[in-house]
Amino acid sequence: MPMLLVVLGATMVVGHFGVLRALPAGSQTATDFSVTVLIASALLAAIAAVITARRSEGRSRLAWAVLAVGMTGWAFGESIWAYYVSIRQITAPFPNIGDFGFLLIVPCTVTALIAFLGVRRGLLRVVLDGLVIAGSLLFLSWVFVLESVYRAGNLTPLAKAVSAAYPLGDVLIGAVALILLPHAEPGRRRSAALIVAGAISFSTADLGFAYLNQHSSYTCGSIIDTGWVAGFVLLGLAAVMAPSQRPGASAPALPVLLWLPYFPLALAILAAIDRVGSGDHLDTFSAAVLGTVVLLVLARQLVALRDNSALSRDLHRVVSELREREEQLRHLAYHDPLTGAANRALFHQHAEGRRTGSLTVLYLDLDGFKPVNDRFGHAAGDALLVEVVTRLRAETRAVDLVARIGGDEFAVLLGPDAGLDDTERLRQRLTARIGEPFDIGGEPVTVGVSIGVAARDTDDDTESVLRRADAAMYAVKARGKAAAV
């Protein structure tokens, strides 16, 4: 279906151009034919936009509805001209009320582009880019058309203003289209590109109209009318091919599209070089416009440098936060969340790292911890466990590892330089320190501790030592607790 519409649209454009080429220029037949096709193409494009608006939602619906209003206004303007040149068969006065219908398409198209494409971020850069493009297009329009229109002596001031408004409106549409197109979502780029192409076609026809009208030589049925027909065909295709729903996540702009807004700037610079090189000079207005554009480009680069610096700072901050988060996750993976002591995984990791040399382990289990939970509640029991870890750390060295194995079970992995005497003295200190009263809810509470001790023999591996320490602790429990094995 889209391909069929493309073929039909191309046939309409080519047919309009071919018929006007075949008919005598300025003849009544050419005039009647041209205004009929122009009105029909504008109305058909407006109908396509209305249909698309009805199946769209949100800002897309607004965009196509507003664009339909603009194209209907253009059809109204052409109908006014048709009244003069086809029905009354006289030269249409310029300007007339139909020109306001023609010019209505400018704000409607700009509004539709902004609503359809939108600006999600980097508003200042978008504004500066838009000013650069608008200034470049204004320079080109002034050099090739508007300057001669302005200086023409056979037009009234109002006629000059209206005649200049057409290409200036195209400048505005082109600037908005070119700056928003690189940021278009992938699903909307095809329709956006067709709208841009339609705006270019309108601009070509408007520039031709302004040039011919300046010399009072424009008549309906001129071959430049085909530019407007092509513009409406492209806008109609943009509506037909628009996505019915909002596309998904946006994708990065294509590299070629990022450079597209600066194409008018390059043309403006080439035009200035050509004019100066041919021995002519730039008048005050065009020189001021080109100088302003250059200053805007410099400002745009300064904004880009600022944004890049901000992006670099944000990236550094994000990396720092990720590293900090990584450290937090690593700490949570190897530490008990309640007491902050090493957990079973970290304890086994450290023990496995000591495959040779001295390895001494103390397994501890609190005696009488369950009655504390039953009497004072789990919050009080948690507070007691935290205090137990604090006391264990106070009695051990920095090279010793204190771990909570689970529940009310703890383990201490002694440093590689610990001897049997050191182990016994530590066991006695731990037994005494844990046996001191704890303050639970303002009441003194006493618990005991059963300690199982194991050290590596000549042929012991790490797992054997850990199993023997664990077994020794449970042997203490079986003998009556509050002791050591």
Report DSSP letters for 24-74, one per residue. Answer: PTT-HHHHHHHHHHHHHHHHHHHHHHHHHHHH--HHHHHHHHHHHHHHHHH
Q: Specify the amino acid at residue 109.
A: T
Peptide bond between residue 95 and the one before it cis (omega within 30 degrees of 0): yes
Candidates 143, 138, 142; CA nearest to 275 is: 143
Q: What pLDDT is recorded for position 433?
A: 93
d(CA 350, CA 384): 26
Residue intervals in the chain for CATH 3.30.70.270: 344-479
Residue intervals in the chain for CATH 1.20.1070: 2-302
Candidates 242, 247, 245, 190; CA nearest to 68 is: 242
CA angle 336, 339, 340 (to 5 degrees): 60
The reply to whether CATH 1.20.1070 applies to domain 2-302 is: yes
Q: What pLDDT is recorded for position 305?
A: 83
Non-local (6+) Cβ contacts of 149 within 8 A are 155, 160, 163, 164, 210, 211, 214
Contact 143, 113 (CB under 8 A): no
For 134, the token pair is 């608008």
Give the total residue count for the chain: 485
For 8, the token pair is 């039909």
| CATH superfamily of the 344-479 domain | Reverse transcriptase/Diguanylate cyclase domain (3.30.70.270)
Candidates 381, 383, 386; CA nearest to 340 is: 386
Q: What pLDDT is recorded for position 394?
A: 93
Candidates 336, 365, 392; CA nearest to 450 is: 365
Q: What pLDDT is recorded for position 249?
A: 46
Give the residue carrying structure tokens 């590299």: 255
Start-to-end CA distance of the chain, whole Å, equals: 88
Non-local (6+) Cβ contacts of 264 within 8 A are 133, 136, 137, 140, 174, 178
d(CA 150, CA 144): 12
* pLDDT tens-place values along the chain, 485 residues long: 567 777 888 888 888 888 888 888 778 888 889 889 999 999 999 999 999 888 888 888 888 899 999 999 999 999 998 898 888 888 878 788 888 888 888 888 888 877 777 655 565 666 677 778 777 877 877 777 667 666 665 667 777 777 777 777 777 777 777 777 766 676 777 887 888 788 888 878 877 777 776 666 777 778 888 999 999 999 888 888 877 655 444 445 555 555 666 777 888 888 888 888 887 778 787 888 888 888 888 887 888 788 788 888 888 889 888 998 988 888 888 999 999 999 989 998 888 887 777 889 999 999 989 888 888 888 999 999 999 999 999 999 989 999 999 889 999 999 888 888 888 899 999 999 999 999 887 889 999 999 999 988 766 777 888 888 889 888 888 877 555 56
d(CA 239, CA 216): 36
Q: Given CA atoms 151, 154, 157, 162 in this order, what sign does their dihedral have?
A: negative
Secondary structure of the chain: what % helix, strand, coil (to 5)?
Answer: 70, 5, 20
d(CA 27, CA 42): 23
Candidates 248, 119, 258, 270; CA nearest to 178 is: 258
Over its C-alpha atoms, the chain yields an Rg (Å, rounded) of: 42
Q: What pLDDT is recorded for position 122?
A: 60
d(CA 434, CA 448): 6
What DSSP letter does each residue of 240-282 carry, written as one string?
Answer: HTS-SS--SS--PPPHHHHHGGGHHHHHHHHHHHHHHHTT---
Q: How distant is the alpha carbon of residue 172 from its chain centre?
A: 25
d(CA 67, CA 216): 31
> Quick one: DSSP state of residue 410?
E
